[in-house]
Each structure stands twice: as structure tokens, then as C-alpha cells.
Structure 1
């Protein structure tokens, strides 16, 4: 190898290191295009501090694959360096054998941190304790400002914006912002600067409650206490934002029968394995809708214009239902609504469906009249639009809330269930009204 080629390789490695260090989010977008082994090979050449800074941006599903492919020494450094809630979430997703191997090695090098992670893993999923970071700063109330600043300078990690003040029983009694600390008199105590904490979480508070509380307080971080009211960590708004964003992205997939584990770069065989069962279910529901049409076979053969207008009736009800479903799912994911709001949401969507149905009915009936010259056919399509849109919008609200009320995932293939309802509602409304008003319809 020539000296020039050696210099080129060194330069490329240096550029990679600088880019990953300074642009972690953009770097992850490139890493997602590599295999797990290639990503692990690239990251293993970087300093562990750079990889730790990058890790929070790697999405779930990919990060555990890269983690398993990392050399043990780098994996342990990453596990030690990342926030506790990220580390615990990562460990919980590892295969059983990999978890046992990694945690055993981690206990040899960092026994205290390993014990902390094992304790956090004992908490149920989607609780405040599993979402918090234990990397917090706390001092006693009688600590002087100059002492606090000195200890903060000795920390290797970046200081958080909020510093918590505790008493002798480790219970939180207030908080001080870092920006206020640095401009305060050096001889004053933290107790003279503290402000009351607006809210706290219990370790076993649910994820839903955590997100609702952040919506109400708009705080950058909220502390978490255990059963003895001792401070054990804090949940940051940034982490809640990331979690909610992942939930929304996941819900988009599961609503249409796509697995949460599937990614854009997953293999075709993996995609088929995860999607095919729901497509088969969708096929059965499609036959149910076809059976409705088949029940009116004689009427359709006698009045052929009905066959032409069937897709219009089904299409409009499907779109209206999808709109209601999207709004309701967003509300559930962001915790703007709960199952207690079922009646209110259902009534709102029913009214919206009726009003939209009337507006669409006017436009559609005019178009059908100019096309067919039949007042009866225009009346049928108008009445069908109002009834089918009212049913579709109401169903779009009921389906996800009902699933959640019964303890099921509200995003799990809601779209497939709703499609069945809207198709049947559209066909039944249109053809049922047509049968009632068949004397007004043109034959042939």
C-alpha cells in the first residue's frame, strides 16, 4: 500500500469521525442504509463518547441489531454511557441469550450500574420508571452555590438545566434552574434559591399519565419518586416527544395491518410474513361486503346505473371514515382524549358526518341528475351519501376507542376493521334506499 493510499484512508476515517461527532442525527440517516454488521463495524472505529452521543437517534428495531453486532468492549461502553431509560429499553428488547451474555459482562465491569438497570427492568413496561433517566443532579438545601458550581465543573457529563434539591430523607423539596444558579451569590445556599416543584411522577405511573401531565405542565423535565417519595430520576420532555413520535409512526403502520417491527429496509420475505395474515383477513371482510352487493343482485341487473354508482358510495364513506379514524387515533396517541370521551367524540363525528354528507349529497345529486336525467337516482345517491357518511364517521371514532376500552391496541389494524364497516355501510345505504325507491328509478 502506497503512502498516498494510507493518507487517504486516514483522512476518510478522520472525516467520518468528525461528521458522526458533529452531525449525529444526519449520520443515523446514513447508517440506516447499512446492514447491522456494517453499521457496527463503522461505529466500532469511533470513540465510545461519539457512539454514545449518536445512540439516542438510532430507532428501536435497528439499535438492538447494531448493539448485538458491536464488539463486547464497545457494547459495554455504550451501555454505560447512554441514559438509563435508553439502556433499559435496549436491554428489554434483546434476545434472552444476548441479554444474559451482555448483562453478565456488564456486571463484571460496572456492577453498581448493572444493579440499577436490573432494578429498573423489574418495573412494568410503559411506566414512569422505565421512561426516566437516572442521570440527574441533586444537592441538599444547605449546599452553597460555590460548592454546587465546583461539583458541576467536575462532572464529565453535560449538566442538566434543572437541579433538584433534596432533604435528609432523599425526598425532593424544590428545584433550581442552572441559569439562575450561575448568576447567584457564591455564598448563598441552594435552599434560598429553590422553587417548588410543580409536579412529580410515581415510579409506577402509566405512560398515558406521563404524557397527559407533560401536556398540562409544559415542563422541560418532571422528577420521579419511588413508593417512599425519594427522588429516583426524572423524565425529560425531549424523551416524551421522541416516544410520542415513535408511537405515531408505529400507529400509521399498525392501522393498516403492518407489523411494528417492519422497517422500510426490511427484507421482502419479512414484509410478506408480517403483512400476509392481515391481507387474508382483509380478503374475508371483502367477501362480507361482496355478499351485501350479492343480496341486491336482482335489483342491480334491473337497474344497471346502480352498478356504476356503487364505487362512488363506497369510496366517499371510506374516505370519511378514514378521516375520523386519523383524528381519533392522533387524539389517543397524544393523550388528548381517553375512553371516557367516547360519547362526546362519537356525537361530534356523527354531526360532522351528517353535515359533510349533506354537502356531498347536493354536489353528487346534481352531477348524477345531469348524467342520468333521473330525479329518483339523484335522490337515492343523495340520501345514501348522508346516511353512509354519518355511519362511517361515527365508526371511525368508535373503532379505536372501543379497542382501547377492551384493553387492545387501538392502532392494531383499525383501518381494516373500518374499511369493512364503511364498505358495508356504503353498499347497504345505497342499495337499500334504491330498493325502497325502485319505482322512481330508470330501468335498463
Structure 2
């Protein structure tokens, strides 16, 4: 398979192998020169090459990508799972990484930059992402050959992952060197003493170190995939910094000065958003004013108006919290927005129907008006459906346009839920006015 171009029959057979057995294909590619693997992938359609390329170790995937035609390399980087693309990009120095990101679609590049940027003082920022694990199922001889390809100094142990890249164990270099070459790697694989999530704060990393005297702490993402290692030097630095922060806390100083910031600093940060919130409140008030005559005619509407707005606000806050958590923990990315929005819309609809049934029963007992029950039931379903949609869409749209979802999501969501809740309730009441006149 080292010819420059594959014959049609051989190319079809290789394509079938890549599609059906991507992990086996990845093992074969990892055992050959990157240029040879790149030639074989170049002869395949992008969708077939992508399956095998995603299964490669990050360092090999980078070497192969650099040997591919630029158009195909960009396609693989853009279409791969974000965690795979980020692992490959993490192997690069900042300048070439930015060059590759610049070749991508702006939306894809924005998403990958967000995944690459860990917050300060978290495990992801402390780790070395260029540490390559061994695959489970290989022999000691294959593991030693893989170690030679990695060519990293100062290694005392290597970590073992399954075909999906999830951390399964560790192998000490001494055990690897002294074992028979035909021995399965699983026979000398030891359990992992401890690990950290890439989003764990520094204090959790320090706490783990205090419980387990280790020199290297593996780091995994939210799906359990191995993403890097925190070395002993970084662990010691984290302990020293955490100790100094504890000393500052003892004398009443905030480490980041947020709690003890000056009043002027607090006003500077908070006042603009309070002013924006005031404008949105006036917008909601303007919607209510459109139906002033209807409210004056049916005073029961004024009593029930906060019920609709309050329930839709709570439903929207739930959807917002779940979506924000997914974005922050990297469980979801921008490309998952249809699934997230669809799920929250369906959830809002079902919850709206359930809450509307309870509300309708309570309103009937209170008012004995079927027309008023119909108004609040319809308004409740519409407003809670809209709340679910807004709770999912607002943070995703803010992230899409490069804004921090935590900054303005709640203000925008409150505006949407209030406006939709007021408009739906009072608008439907206006349509049902003749029936309301007969009963209320």
C-alpha cells in the first residue's frame, strides 16, 4: 500500500476498511510514516478519511494533517469532533495554531478558540496537553515503539486509553522496559491513582495532591477523554500559590479582589447592566400599556398577570441554567444548538401543558369562568414554550457572537419572558373579551 495512487478496487476496499474499522485503521497508520498515511488518506473521500483520522493519537493526527493537501486538512479539522480538533491544535505552537484557525470557517474557528481557552487557575490551564497516551490492546513491543516515536524526556509513566480516548490506566516506564516484548500491555497496566477534570479549580487539584502523593496527575474532559497531564512542577507551584491565597484570606484579603473591590469599581461593573435592565423593564411596561383598556375592564387579569410572567421566568431560568452549564462544562458546543433548542422547546411545551392544567383548575375554582381559564391556559403554554426556547437560544447566540453568556443572558431572558408572557396573556384576553364580559 505504498504506491502513490491506489487502484480503484484497492481504493474501494481501503475505504470500506476505514469506514467499518476506523480504530484498526488508526493503529495501522500509527505504525507507518506520516507521509505514507497521508498518501493513503488522500486517495479516500473526506468522510472515510475523517473516521480514521479522528481515531489517531493527537500527535500522529497532527503529523498526518501537515502532510495532507491543505483543502483536505482544513476539512478534517473543521468536521472532526471539537474535542479531537482541540487535541490536535494543542500539539502546536501558538503561531501555527492561529494560522490553521485562520483557514477555517469563522464560526468553527470561534468555537475551537473557545474550547482552547481555559479559565485562569483551572486544571486545563495547568496541564501539558502534548502528552500522548498508549492504546489499550497493544503489546509491550508496540508500546515501546510508540514511546520511541513520542520522544519525550522525563517520562516516568504513561497513561492508557481505550479506542474512544477515555482514560483506563497507567503504565510505569520501568515495567515497560522489564517486561517481555510479546506481553499484552494490559498485563502491566495499573489503575489510575487519581485524576482531575480539565475544569477543576486549582484548589481541587491541590486537594487531590494532598490526598495522593503523585508526580503526574492525568486530566480528563467531561466525557472522560484523556486531554493532558499536570506535571510535578506545576503541582508544586499550585500548592505554593494556594497556600499564599489561604494566608491572604486569613487577613481578610480577597485573592481576586472581587469581594473587596472599591464601591466605584463595583458601580462601574454593575451600573451599565442595571441601566440596560431598566430599558427592558420599560419595554415590558409598554406591552402592558397596549392593553390598558382591557385590564381596566377585567380586573381579574391584573391579578393573574404575575402568575404567567413568574412561571415563564422560572421555566426560562431552568433552561438557561442547563444550557449555560453545558457550555461551561463543554458538554455541548455551538454546532449542537438544534438538539439543545429542540429539547428545551419540547420540555417547555410539556411543562407548559402540565402547569397550565393546574393553573386552569385553580383559576376555575377562584373565578368560575371557563373563558378566563381558557385565556390563562393558552397564555401559560405559549409563554413557557417561548421561555424554553429563549433559555436555550440566548446563551448560544451570545457565545456565537463572541460574548460571555454569563454577562447578559439573564437580562435578555427576563425581557423575553416578560414581553411574551404579558403579550400572550393580554392579547388572548382581548380576543376572548366578549366571552369574558359574560362571565367575569
- TM-score, with normalisation over the residues of structure 1? 0.49
